Amino acid sequence: MLDRYKKRTPKSGALWKRAVSVFAGGINHNIRTFCLDRVGAYPPYIARGEGAYVWDVDGNRYVDWWMTHYSQILGHNNPRVREALINRLQNGHHFGAPNEEQVVLAEKIRKAIPYMEMMRFCSTGAEATMYAVRLARLFTKKKLVAKVYGGWHGGNDTVGYHVSFPYNDDPFYDGVTFNYNDIDSAREMFKKFGRDLAAVIVEPILGAGGALPPIPEFLPFLREETNRLGALLIFDEIISAFRFRYGSVGEALFNVRPDLTTLGKIAGGGMHLGVYGGREDVMALAAPRAEGGRWVGGGTFSSHPLSMVAGSVTLDELKKRNNQYEHLNKVGDGFRDRTNTLFRDYGYDAISTGFGSLVYLSCLHKDIGNPPYTSYTIGQAFDHEQMNMFQSLLTQEGVLGYHGLGALSFSHSESDIEFTLSAIERVISALSSD
């Protein structure tokens, strides 16, 4: 398979050789290679996308599950989004000044998520979580922020620690951390640090740690304890908002309302966007000259007009498709079931986890039993080398996925699902026979 891949991708191979001489590690986002170089391969360089497919610079087509870090839920190059971007470009693309489009998008977000009473736009999810945490510290006048093991909230120093098992990846920052879906772990954390906590930040559906849904009592427990201790609860919905329903999932699916929420990805229509917002009394501290406030929010490219129009049109399209979310989520559920059946039938040590249209494949070096899982459950059994090989071979079979696999879009067809399952079976067969 590797020899066949190299013959099919000479232009990507040439670009990779150039890239490793100018970029540290050859890439600009760590997960965009999954260490293909360890098996003598390289990532495909993508030239264009349409619907559920992308084509590399050599003209090879892939069924795309990565979908721009989960953000292209309408599919690549959606005609309405493309038209909106072209129209905006006719009059210039950025001025570093207020624009009408930012007001329109904010109003649509607040209508979809009413408890985002006030908000601010920035350019990335990492900025959004950084600013949300800064506001929590200002509001509570406390410093400590807790997050879950394996939780990814961007690469800022405030929350960019304890991301990969064994969760000691940052020797310079020993953060306050607890285990996702583990009430006892959370209770111990609150007991030890609760009085000094400014906030707890958590993804309602854990992303990087395995796309795990919460057990019923987990998020309500966090809400109860943060209320009791005077800390804020921050939901990072950069992945989950507009992914499983039109709007957010925190209150609608899990009956828990956070104090602050961060958005991105789908809300930006595939363009760069970060959003942080929530309670008006908390967000008021971000206003210029606010009493007790500090500098919160900046960035040359915040509320970029192209991001604003792409996000606005995407939300319009998703609102029209609101009754189609249930089907999309069921397709994801069925895909995970069939993938897990393949793993069992071949006796291959891996598991497919996720929620709705979000799918995460994990190669394992030991059995982890039955769900519900915690972030520690997946992390301590995850086989990085085998996973790198699995995704490498899957790419060579014409399926592009990173970071477990990815997510469905409204553009994926039944034949795309069947193609992907056949590719997974061939990869499992090849690795099982080694």
Looking up residue 58, the CATH number of its domain turns out to be 3.90.1150.10
For 96-117, the DSSP string reads SS--HHHHHHHHHHHHHSTT--
pLDDT in tens, 63-92: 999 999 999 999 999 999 999 999 999 999
- Same domain? For 200 and 225 the reply is yes
pLDDT, residue 169, reads 53
Residue 294 belongs to domain with CATH number:
3.40.640.10
Calpha distance 359→373 (Å, rounded): 15
Q: Helix, strand, or coil here: 288?
A: coil
Calpha distance 261→44 (Å, rounded): 35
pLDDT in tens, 119-129: 999 999 999 99
- Among 286, 305, 320, residue at a domain's last position: 320
Q: Helix, strand, or coil here: 352?
A: strand
Q: What is the mean pLDDT of residues 293-304?
A: 87
- Same domain? For 57 and 117 the reply is no
Calpha distance 297→294 (Å, rounded): 10
- Same domain? For 170 and 232 the reply is yes
Give the residue among 72, 101, 28 at the shortest CA–CA distance from 307: 101
Query: What is the number of structural domains in the chain?
Result: 2
What does the angle CA 246 – CA 339 – CA 390 come to, to the nearest 5 degrees? Answer: 105
Q: Name all contacts of 170-179 with Cβ < 8 Å and 24+ positions apart.
A: 175/145, 175/146, 175/147, 176/144, 176/145, 176/146, 176/147, 177/146, 177/147, 177/148, 177/149, 178/146, 178/148, 178/149, 179/148, 179/149, 179/374, 179/375, 179/376
pLDDT: which is higher, 154 or 317? 317
pLDDT in tens, 318-339: 999 999 999 999 999 999 999 9
- Same domain? For 87 and 186 the reply is yes
Calpha distance 433→352 (Å, rounded): 21
- Same domain? For 296 and 391 the reply is no
Reply yes or no on whether the pLDDT at 37 is more than 80: no
Calpha distance 359→399 (Å, rounded): 14
- Same domain? For 351 and 426 the reply is yes
- Same domain? For 364 and 316 the reply is no
- Same domain? For 152 and 220 the reply is yes
Q: Which residues pair with 235 in a beta bridge?
A: 202, 261
Report the percent of the chain where pLDDT is more than 70: 96
- Same domain? For 139 and 38 the reply is no
- Same domain? For 264 and 171 the reply is yes
* pLDDT confidence bin for 165, thresholds 50/70/90: confident
- Among 294, 320, 346, residue at a domain's last position: 320
- Among 320, 345, 367, residue at a domain's last position: 320
pLDDT, residue 42, reads 87
Q: Which of 35-44, 160-169, 303-312, 387-396 has the highest mean pLDDT?
A: 303-312
- Same domain? For 86 and 63 the reply is no
Q: What is the token pair recorded at 330?
A: 């069921």
**Structural domain boundaries enclosing 88:** 79-320
- Same domain? For 103 and 163 the reply is yes
Reply yes or no on whether the pLDDT at 35 is more than 70: no
